[in-house]
Homo-oligomer: A and B are copies of this chain.
Amino acid sequence: MPPRRARSERVTLLDVANVLGISSITVSRALREPEKVSEPLRQKILRQVEQMGYVPDLAARALASRHNGIIGVLAPALTNHAYLGIMSGIEERVRDTDFRIQYANTNHDADQEYRQVKLFLSQHPAGILLTGLQDQRVSDLLELAPCPVVQIVDLNLLPSGIAVGINHREAAETATRHLLACGYRRIGLIGGSRDLRAQRRHDGYALVMQEAGLYDPGLVMTEHKQTSMQLGCDLFKRLLETAPDVDAVFCQNDDLALGALFEAQRAGLRVPDDFGICGYNDLDFALCAEPRLTTIRVPRFQMGYRATDLIIRAINDECLPSRVIQLPFDLIQRGSTRPPA
């Protein structure tokens, strides 16, 4: 721990209490349990608190009581566009509660995930929301966590704790079947396979292609990288070189799909007539691309909202409606695939 820095004299509960000639616990109660303090006194206290600029010390509160009121959210990559909807759902649910949200990145890395979970835990959080790798060490840690933990996961795997998610494998099956129904035959897959959820999408694709007798490993282009449009461009180019007769791609997310779309345009392919593209996530830009992107819609706002709701219920010791919530997905047909036959 590095050296010091002058600490400005913080206003404490006691300071406020002294001014009013009452005890600090009464001030504390006025703030946290208003109904336990008489109305006139409460008013006086609140006014004084305001005037002196008192701000509660969360470290002290966390130490003296159960938790600090903060729900920690761990995500592989906070800047992932797909996380936007999840965040909105989370923040919507805590609005008008006394809980607050803080985020950290795990960078798709089990070690970092482990460290960040420990970091949150060591601050006495009210709860933890994890979109994680389902690593064993982390699970062990969470098993003993003194606060509720909810995971946003792929539900094809059996989550041990409380979880919200969709079945990514089934969603990928739906997407692949749609491409087949549109009459495409040499259907490729583009993906960044760093992540379990992405892995399940691959499984769904492979399953359907095998059923159809059309599976060809040469049509699968993945790279262990953070996905991006640029990666979509690169993988698409590689796919086109490897298998020039490819006539469609299922992309593991919309970023990749948009990259593929641009690259297809550069290659002079006409989408959707010569070539079909299906994305995943239904990010906002899927609707404004030209042509608009066929994709799988995932209820991300709901995922964030319901996951946070589960946490809050668990903190409040309510019994949960269920430990695992499976959310639906939808295939959104747009201009980047031909109408199904």
Chain A contacts to B: CB under 8 angstroms: 1-8, 10, 32, 55-63, 65-70, 72, 77-81, 83-84, 87, 91, 98, 100-105, 107, 115-116, 118-119, 121-124, 126, 144-148, 228-230, 232-233, 255, 258-259, 262-263, 265-266, 284-285, 287-290, 312, 314-317
Can you identify 12 A-B contacts, CB atoms within 8 angstroms?
Answer: A5-B315, A8-B144, A10-B146, A59-B68, A63-B63, A79-B79, A81-B81, A91-B105, A102-B119, A103-B104, A258-B285, A265-B290
Complex Cα gap A266–B290 (Å)? 7
Q: Which residues of B contact A317 (CB under 8 A)?
A: 3-5
Q: Which residues of B contact A284 (CB under 8 A)?
A: 228-230
With both chains docked as a complex, state the minimum distance between the C-beta of A280 and any C-beta of chain B, in angstroms. 17
Q: How many copies does the complex hold?
A: 2
Given contacts A259-B285, A315-B5, contact A79 B68 (CB under 8 A): no
Q: Which residues of B contact A122 (CB under 8 A)?
A: 55-59
Complex Cα gap A74–B262 (Å)? 34
The reply to whether A66 and B123 form a contact with Cβ atoms under 8 Å apart is no
Across the interface, A78 reaches (CB within 8 A) one of B59, B100, B103, B145, namely B103
Complex Cα gap A219–B318 (Å)? 56
Complex Cα gap A272–B81 (Å)? 28
With both chains docked as a complex, state the minimum distance between the C-beta of A184 and any C-beta of chain B, in angstroms. 22
Q: Which residues of B contact A58 (CB under 8 A)?
A: 59, 119, 122-123
| Known pairs A100-B119, A263-B288 / 8 extra A-B pairs, C-beta < 8 Å | A1-B67, A6-B146, A55-B121, A56-B122, A57-B63, A59-B122, A262-B288, A262-B289
Q: Which residues of B contact A79 (CB under 8 A)?
A: 78-81, 83-84, 87
Chain B CB within 10 A, most for which of A10, A259, A288, A290: A288
Across the interface, A63 reaches (CB within 8 A) one of B59, B87, B103, namely B59
Q: Which residues of B contact A104 (CB under 8 A)?
A: 100-103
Given contacts A63-B59, A102-B103, A229-B285, contact A68 B316 (CB under 8 A): no
Given contacts A32-B1, A63-B60, contact A262 B290 (CB under 8 A): yes
The reply to whether B288 and A7 form a contact with Cβ atoms under 8 Å apart is no
The reply to whether B123 and A59 form a contact with Cβ atoms under 8 Å apart is yes
Residue of B nearest to A83 (CB): B79
Across the interface, A87 reaches (CB within 8 A) one of B65, B78, B288, namely B78
Q: Which residues of B contact A259 (CB under 8 A)?
A: 285, 288
With both chains docked as a complex, state the minimum distance between the C-beta of A11 and any C-beta of chain B, in angstroms. 10
Residue of B nearest to A126 (CB): B2
Q: Which residues of B contact A68 (CB under 8 A)?
A: 59, 123
With both chains docked as a complex, state the minimum distance between the C-beta of A332 and any C-beta of chain B, in angstroms. 15
Chain B CB within 10 A, most for which of A57, A77, A126, A285: A285
Q: Which residues of B contact A287 (CB under 8 A)?
A: 230
